[in-house]
Amino acid sequence: MTASSTTPPATTSSDRFDPAIADTRWQKVWDEQQSFRANDASTKPRSFVLEMFPYPSGRIHIGHVRNYTMGDVLARYKRMRGHEVLHPMGWDAFGMPAENAAMEKGVHPGGWTRENIANMKAQLKRLGFALDWSREIATCEPEYYGHEQALFLDLYAADLVYRKESTVNWDPVDHTVLANEQVIDGRGWRSGALVEKRKLNQWFLKITDFADELLEGLSTLDNWPEKVRTMQENWIGKSQGLQFAFNLSSGDKLEVYTTRPDTIFGASFVAVAADHPVAQTAAVGNQAAQDFIALCKKGGTTAAELETAEKLGFDTGITAKHPFTGADLPVYIANFVLMEYGTGAIMAVPGHDQRDFDFATKYGLPIEAQHIPTGIDWDASLQIAFEQTFLDEGNSEKSVYHDFRSSAYELTKHKFKSEPQDYLDSAMHKLLVGSSEILPCTAEAACRAVIARAEAGGFGEGKTVWRLRDWGVSRQRYWGTPIPFIHCEVCGVVPVPKKHLPVTLPEDVTFDVPGNPLDRHPTWKHVDCPQCGHAARRETDTLDTFVDSSWYFLRFASQPADRPFDPEEIKRWLPVEQYIGGIEHAILHLLYARFWTRALARIGKIEVTEPFASLFTQGMVTHETYERRNPENGQPIFFAPSEIERSSEGATLKADGAAVDVGRVIKMSKSKKNVVDPDEIVAKYGADAIRWFMLSDSPPERDLPWSEAGIEGCARFVQRLWRLFGQLDSDATGEDKALDRKTHQIVFAVAADIEALGFNKAVARIYELTGAIEKAAPSASRTSAIRSLLLLVAPMMPHLAEEAFANFDSGLIADALWPEVDPALLVDDEVTVAIQVKGKLRDTLTVAKGTSKEDLERLALASEKVQRALEGAEVKKVIVVPDRLVNLVV
């Protein structure tokens, strides 16, 4: 066949495939013909394939290439299966790195970001990804964040957004709030200053209103990794426990919550946060307490920091009355208790909690030995009463304690001359602190018993709580979405009218002074109140960038100019059929995206509640490191792979020929310089070779070690295929049934592998088919197999495939359909039967499946190898297992 008039002819005169020519040629054709533009009017089945969009840091790294290659193969495959595919790309473009660049390089964050976008977009195009660039978005553009402001106002109108004072990490040098992740060893990640805790008015989203939905929804996500679902479940953190009040010696009551009421008898002290009212009261007129509270405010707020920091406390002199034992427990102000968690106060049980144990050890506080108290005769009758009471599912929590006491009283009163009150309380104590040694079920039952007794006594109640906290979205920085509110001294906090959206960032800002440039801008923040007309000021906080990435997939699916999206288009495209990205986003990004989707559904904007039907978290690309030690300070000096000459004997630096130390194979990191530039690999080997490498060897969920030998092997396979595809014009005739069968079986298997994202398995099968074709004699079957092979590799090596396809067919292989499979050829009609003599393998037979026992015996005896093995001995018995084995007994 001749090449289509709409596509350029391939150059097949050379025995070698030239990726430098072919890559550019076909990328231009795809662009001109808008080959990968999704059609909203299509009646085909729809597939929305999405990889997590990148932050425009300046360069695409190898990890991006692996991520996008996987998505690209799936998207191209879905097109070949007759689907209308949406496979878009955009940029998560707001954030601190741009402001850091502004401060360090004296550039504007917008200019720096947009230049990076242009560079990275060019890199992605050089890799030949089948992306719909007509839907490209950048979250830093008003065309995007203006719609985000409108959605934020919609959520505010639905009472899902509020503002309150909260404790934040404050960097006193950069004059900004830091996220927990930006506090390293108690210091600001950029300034190095000791971080302080401050209270600021912050904007929050009511994600806790959706805690139950978000937790229950995880059970519907069957196509998500179990690990990710577990991580989200733990982050949401639903727990049931006891909230109760201690009576304080000061006359006040102190509310605490515990998920382990069964350990209450082991409590030996009480601790409160530095900003708890009890702490503030204790600090009045007490300079030592005031100093300690100030010290606490300099600590970090992350869970990791609280776990590892030295546990410090201040004895307030106040005591708390234990509600069960009546013991007076000391009340401490402690640096590891936060006001934002629970009630800001804890019942400390050193025998069951490491932090409590460390604290108790430091301050010489009792550590209750969790054993059965001595001197108590735990008789069988009381245990039976306990079992009968707590194993009866009909009992309510409120009645269970009384039921137990009543039945136990009747069984034990004969032992006492007086009321068995003391005995029962002692027995209960024993149950609570040593229950695991008594009954397998009593730890849970003991929790129920304590809750029931607290409720009966009126000093506590069973309560379900969540680890999840409302999402604080305020950020004191310039490069983010302006929060669309105005502060008026007359009207209070006023939403910006939607007709005035977007609230755009001013361009004339400077970063020569620490802090948020919006706070000190001479004009931007000064506006009139839209309600009363009086002078007012804009909100100068901007939104957390996680907000930007919580709905971008909706904007990909629908992009009307006058609203964030069209709900009818959302209904047709969502949920995303396949979402691909790193495990590092398993909690926050995915949880926030799920929340936004559910929140928008609740207020009637969309109908879908879960944004991503299937999730895949790919492994990282890794590389060994190269280093030398600085002779002056002993610190490592790292070198890039391009600076190294590698051999079997080790590694040397090209610049001086001297040896360098070869380190572990770890995640590619700019700081360790063990990164590989995709542009250099594409220039040397072509886009298809690097794409093939990303799909080969390692299962996609595991890390992929980068190696020069590996990419060279992939480049050789590209040439091997090119030579094979050059034989497509063969006029050979005749059939090769075995090759036909293998071809159809592999086509079927590769399809299943791609759909399951088992790319390495698909690659292995393609190698297998390639070898089988190369060994086969010329025939029509062989030509057909080559054509099928070409279609199989098209999603993986699209440039090579287009170049070869243009030599024998019209149009683009990007528009071609997946090869059809004959179901009859998927079942083997021949089998290999082992022939044994005296239990040892002597020959094999390839026969039709279902060959009779008689025929198998006859064929086995006719074998020359079998006759030689028999050496004339008489065959006494023939054992035949149909389709598997013939064993001759002599």
Please give the torsion angle defined by the CA atoms of residues 677, 678, 681 and 687, in that order, rounded to the nearest 10 degrees: 180
> Which amino acid, residue 300?
G
Last residue of one domain, picked from the residues 421, 438, 466: 466
Residues 530 and 576 in one domain: no
Residues 442 and 494 in one domain: no
pLDDT reading at 360 higher than 80: yes
Mean predicted confidence (pLDDT) in 773-785? 95
Residues 296 and 390 in one domain: no
DSSP, collapsed to helix, strand or coil, labels residue 831 as: strand
Residue 524 lies in a domain: yes
Residues 591 and 496 in one domain: no
Residue 228 lies in a domain: no
Residue 695 lies in a domain: no
Residue 775 lies in a domain: no
Residue 211 lies in a domain: no
- Given this model, what pLDDT does residue 730 score? 72
* Under 8 Å between Cβ of 518 and 524: yes
Tokens 């039921």: give the residue. Answer: 403
- Given this model, what pLDDT does residue 367 score? 83
pLDDT reading at 400 higher than 50: no
Separation CA 546–CA 378 (nearest Å): 57
Burial of 560 (0-12, 13-18, 19+ CB in 10 A): exposed
pLDDT reading at 612 higher than 90: yes
pLDDT in tens, 413-446: 444 434 444 444 444 445 444 333 333 334 566 7
Separation CA 449–CA 439 (nearest Å): 14
Last residue of one domain, picked from the residues 635, 650, 667: 667
Mean predicted confidence (pLDDT) in 774-781? 94
Q: What is the mean pLDDT of the chain?
A: 87
Q: What phi and psi values does residue 802 have, to the nearest 5 degrees? A: -65, -40
pLDDT reading at 823 higher than 70: yes
pLDDT in tens, 365-382: 988 744 333 333 444 444
pLDDT in tens, 274-330: 989 999 999 999 999 999 998 887 765 555 556 667 889 999 999 999 998 899 999
CATH number at residue 836: 3.10.20.590
- Given this model, what pLDDT does residue 693 score? 96
Q: Which residue has the higher pLDDT, 121 or 466?
A: 121
Name the packing angle between helices 62-80 and 687-695 (round to 10°).
90
- Given this model, what pLDDT does residue 370 score? 44
- Given this model, what pLDDT does residue 140 score? 98
pLDDT in tens, 330-339: 999 999 898 8
Residue 260 lies in a domain: yes
- Given this model, what pLDDT does residue 305 score? 59
pLDDT reading at 642 higher than 80: yes
Residues 247 and 355 in one domain: yes
Q: Which residue has the higher pLDDT, 586 or 536?
A: 536
pLDDT in tens, 104-130: 889 999 999 999 999 999 999 999 999
* Under 8 Å between Cβ of 94 and 139: yes
The answer for residues whose C-beta is within 8 angstroms of residue 545's C-beta and 6 or more apart is 92, 94, 95, 139, 475, 480
CA torsion sign for 796, 797, 799, 800 is: negative
Burial of 635 (0-12, 13-18, 19+ CB in 10 A): exposed
Residues 296 and 410 in one domain: no
- Given this model, what pLDDT does residue 281 score? 93
Separation CA 67–CA 90 (nearest Å): 14
Q: Which two tokens stand for residue 61?
A: 């790294």
Residue 730 lies in a domain: no
Least confident of 226-240, 400-414, 503-517, 532-546: 400-414
Q: Which of 1-15, 183-197, 463-477, 738-752 has the highest mean pLDDT?
A: 738-752
- Given this model, what pLDDT does residue 523 score? 96
Residue 687 lies in a domain: no
Mean predicted confidence (pLDDT) in 823-833? 86
How many independent structural domains does the chain possess?
A: 6
Least confident of 117-121, 527-531, 749-753, 854-858: 854-858
Indicate the pLDDT class of residue 342, thresholds 50, 70 and 90: confident
Indicate the pLDDT class of residue 771, thresholds 50, 70 and 90: very high
Least confident of 85-99, 161-175, 303-317, 653-667: 303-317
Residues 449 and 400 in one domain: yes
Residues 555 and 536 in one domain: no
Q: Which residue has the higher pLDDT, 622 or 205?
A: 205
- Given this model, what pLDDT does residue 386 score? 46
Separation CA 790–CA 123 (nearest Å): 26
- Given this model, what pLDDT does residue 676 score? 85
CATH number at residue 164: 2.170.220
DSSP, collapsed to helix, strand or coil, labels residue 504 as: coil
CATH number at residue 307: 3.90.740.10
Q: Could you please report the per-residue DSSP string of 413-464? A: GGG-SS-THHHHHHHHHHHHHHGGGT-TTHHHHHHHHHHHHHHHHTSEEEEE
* Under 8 Å between Cβ of 552 and 90: yes
- Given this model, what pLDDT does residue 175 score? 78
Mean predicted confidence (pLDDT) in 788-800? 98
> Which amino acid, residue 533?
G
Residues 384 and 355 in one domain: no
- Given this model, what pLDDT does residue 630 score? 87
Last residue of one domain, picked from the residues 617, 635, 655: 617
Query: ω into residue 575 within 30 of 0, thus cis?
Result: yes
CATH number at residue 600: 3.40.50.620
Residues 541 and 557 in one domain: no
Least confident of 352-366, 494-508, 679-693, 779-793: 352-366
* Model confidence, pTM: 0.82
Residues 356 and 288 in one domain: yes
- Given this model, what pLDDT does residue 307 score? 62
Its domain, for residue 646, covers 624-667
Q: β-strand 621-629 against 704-705: which pairing, if any?
A: parallel
Separation CA 457–CA 322 (nearest Å): 13
Least confident of 65-79, 236-250, 560-574: 236-250
pLDDT in tens, 649-706: 889 999 998 899 998 888 888 888 888 889 999 999 999 999 999 999 789 999 988 8
> Which amino acid, residue 59?
R
* Under 8 Å between Cβ of 195 and 187: yes
DSSP, collapsed to helix, strand or coil, labels residue 243 as: strand
Distances (CA, A) of 8 to 20, 34, 304, 688, 798: 15, 16, 59, 19, 15
Separation CA 329–CA 34 (nearest Å): 74
Residues 262 and 277 in one domain: yes
Q: Which residue has the higher pLDDT, 739 or 166?
A: 739
Separation CA 631–CA 109 (nearest Å): 38
